[in-house]
Amino acid sequence: MRDGFVKVAAGTPEIRVADCAYNGGQIVALMREAAAQGVKALALPELCLTGATCGDLFFQDTLLHGAEEALASILTETKDLDLLTALGLPVRNPWDNKLYNCAAVIQRGEIHRLVPKTCLPNCEGRWFTSGRDVDTLIRLRGQNVHMAANVILECETMPNLVIGVELGEDLWAPEPPSITLARAGATLILNLSAGHEEAGRADYRRSLVAGQSARLLCGYVLASAGEGESTTDLVFGGHKMIAENGVMLAEQRFSTGLVVSEIDVDRLIYDRRGTNIFIPPAGTPMDNAHGLGVGRSEFYLELTDTELTRPIAQNPFVPESPAELEARCQEILTIAALGLKKRLAHTRAKTAVVGLSGGLDSTLALLTTAKAMDMLGRPRTDITAITMPCFGTTGRTKSNAQMLAEEMGASFRIIEIGEAVRVHFRDIGQEMDDLSVTFENGQARERTQVLMDVANREGGMVIGTGDLSELALGWATYNGDHMSMYGVNGGIPKTLMRHLVACLAREAEGERPRLAAVLRDILDTPVSPELLPPKEGEIAQRTEDLVGPYELHDFFLYYALRWGFPPRKVLRLALHALGGRYDRETILKWLKNFYRRFFTQQFKRSCMPDGPKAGSMALSPRGGWIMPSDAMSTLWLAELEGLS
């Protein structure tokens, strides 16, 4: 439960129709199994104490009494479990002599609440009454229990864990109860269901669960009836799903037992803070769960560590499915090219000037610019690709730059800047054997000056090459490669950038093998600014040796900024996802470096050029990431020091 993770489960017991004692025993066994796995919130199917297919037997006092007796037995046998469970049973209300399809929310021998189903399908209306307007106390197995549809349960020890309950077709309704529950603060919805199976129905049910979890920024756990239900007319498949904000974390179908995962409620709360959709209706008083008519109840869970079993991607910006990755690459290339297309048309630029180094970033910038020119119906010769060899340039990158420009059909120029840099160094008193930051940045600024002046001379605009990862680390020369007139790569992280170029290399395989070959060689080239002299003709300066592996930094970037996780949680997730590749000491070292650089280098992002947000996050000061340039990293680094 620490770091916002709560282990949840959906369970389907094997039952016997109308055999309440047997069903109660199966439920107890499933609850104990869940508790042994560290589960803190468990959803079981609707009417699982009796079976959902009892038909007119629901009218029989014998069945209703049997369900109450079985519930009493469950309460006694599980009072030692630190587990909140929602299970289904029919409940009679002596005040109106009606029967309700209810979820009993139980824990440690206590019935916290009874939640009646509100949206009844036609068949259920024969036996049950909608609980939409029910708000009453009833006596059940020696306890006074509040029965109402709209109720949230708040965890005392984990304030961000707020649970709401709905049943079956409640989710299928135009206005499911979960909407109101989420607006009142629920971060986890438990759905007790008895949905039958038919061809295509599971796909629709899955889309509802995933979509509702995304719409409400919540965790959603659905447990459906399965084996043991009557198959007189229908088959029940025991469909169990756990979703979080649109992502299906775990799922099983045609089986009994448990499906288990972890919901990250802190992550959900962080996302909700950035929206204004969870607000009460106009004119409602701010009481009773924000004026929404939702009751509130508290429960207690022991605060323990949660073992993580949910998937944590090593490269969170990169889809794991090859098909999804291919689609994502094409989508991002299109978004970036559309942004540049608009800017070129608006400024009436006669040419797009790209500084081509033979490295990954400038390669993608050229590929994107070519796509934008194609969209505009303009010849690719309107692209001016310039490579500017200097003291660190290797033959490999220079050759790749020229070959790439030729293959893309761009106008190509080689402008040697070595002599200009030497003159500049002489003017400022910089010695050629002083390989300091001035030696490096002088070259970077000279290259930017050349690009800007060529753009002015030809009536064009300079296309920036810096990517999202470099912006986060401030790995750019201020007013050097840091500056351009439009930065097409600014919303693309380094780990995804490789896949974008690889995607285009695969496209070129058949008809343009020479282009495919140069793109593959660029992908194999070490990431380097090439600002220090090469050693024996090879690149001497490797970026990842200096600032750390981009694989780690993109991981840190995603969880520290996209989700606002504290440093200790970022470290925990990194160890879980990447611990097999990097030891704790290495991860901690580069995580500290990430926070130091991110805070100290904000001044570069505060004046970065325009550029499209292509993915899930951006660092533009105009809305992507707003932070003062003199903010301190003290709190974040202090937290990491405590973990060293």
CATH number of domain containing 8: 3.60.110.10
Residue 293 has a pLDDT of 79
For residue 546, CA distances in Å to 187, 466, 500, 554, 594 come to: 41, 17, 24, 15, 12
**Structural domain contains residue 283:** no
**178, 145 Cβ separation under 8 angstroms:** no
3-state secondary structure of 199: coil
Helix (H) or strand (E) holding 224: strand 219-224
Residues 6+ apart with CB under 8 A from 207: none
Query: In the structure encoding, which two tokens stand for residue 111, read together?
Result: 């019935």
Q: Which of 275, 299, 314 is the last residue of a domain?
A: 275
In this structure, are strands 219-224 and 240-244 parallel, antiparallel, or unpaired? antiparallel
Residue 291, pLDDT score = 54
C-alpha distances in Å from residue 20, one per residue of 24, 67, 424: 6, 6, 89
Secondary structure of residue 27 in the 3-state scheme: helix
Q: Are residues 267 and 330 in the same domain?
A: no
Give the sheet arrangement for strand 247-252, strand by strand. Answer: 247-252, 240-244, 219-224, 188-193, 162-167, 151-155, 295-299
Domain assignment of residue 631, yes or no? yes
261 and 361: one domain? Answer: no
Whether 600 is in a domain gets the answer: yes
State the CB neighbour count (10 A cutoff) for residue 525.
Answer: 19
- What pLDDT is stored for residue 289 in this prediction? 47
Note whether 257 and 141 are same-domain residues. yes
| 303 within some domain | no
Out of 275, 305, 334, pick the residue that ends a domain.
275
Residues 232 and 354 in one domain: no
Provide the pLDDT for residue 94: 85
Same domain, 257 and 359: no
DSSP β-bridge partners for residue 162: 154
Query: Considering 260, 275, 290, which residue would you say is the last residue of a domain?
Result: 275
For 373, the domain range is 322-641
Q: How far is residue 641 CA from its own chain's centroid?
A: 27
* 8-state DSSP, 350: S
The C-alpha atoms of residue 352 and residue 348 are separated, in whole angstroms, by: 10
Residues 368, 457, single domain; the answer is yes
Cα(552)–Cα(549) distance, integer angstroms: 5
Judge if 260 and 332 occupy the same domain: no
Q: Tell whether 264 is covered by a domain.
A: yes
**Within-domain flag for 287:** no
**Residues lower than pLDDT 70 in the chain:** 277-292, 536, 540
In a domain, 585, yes or no: yes
- Please write the tens of the pLDDT for every residue from 400-425: 999 999 999 999 999 999 999 999 99
CATH at residue 569: 3.40.50.620
**In a domain? residue 301:** no
Q: How many domains does the chain contain in total?
A: 2
Residue-wise pLDDT tens digits, 491-512? 999 999 999 999 999 999 988 9
Q: Can you read off the two tokens belonging to residue 446?
A: 């000279």
- The C-alpha atoms of residue 181 and residue 162 are separated, in whole angstroms, by 9
- Do 487 and 612 sit in the same domain of this protein? yes
Residue 624 and residue 530 share a domain = yes
State whether 268 and 328 are in the same domain. no
Which residues, including other chains, have CB under 8 Å from residue 6's CB and lie 6 or more apart?
40, 41, 158, 161, 188, 262, 263, 265, 306
- If asked whether residues 188 and 254 sit together in one domain, one would say yes
Largest interatomic CA distance in the chain: 100
Tell me the C-alpha distance between 448 and 428, whole Å: 19
DSSP H or E segment with residue 162 = strand 162-167
260 and 350 within one domain: no
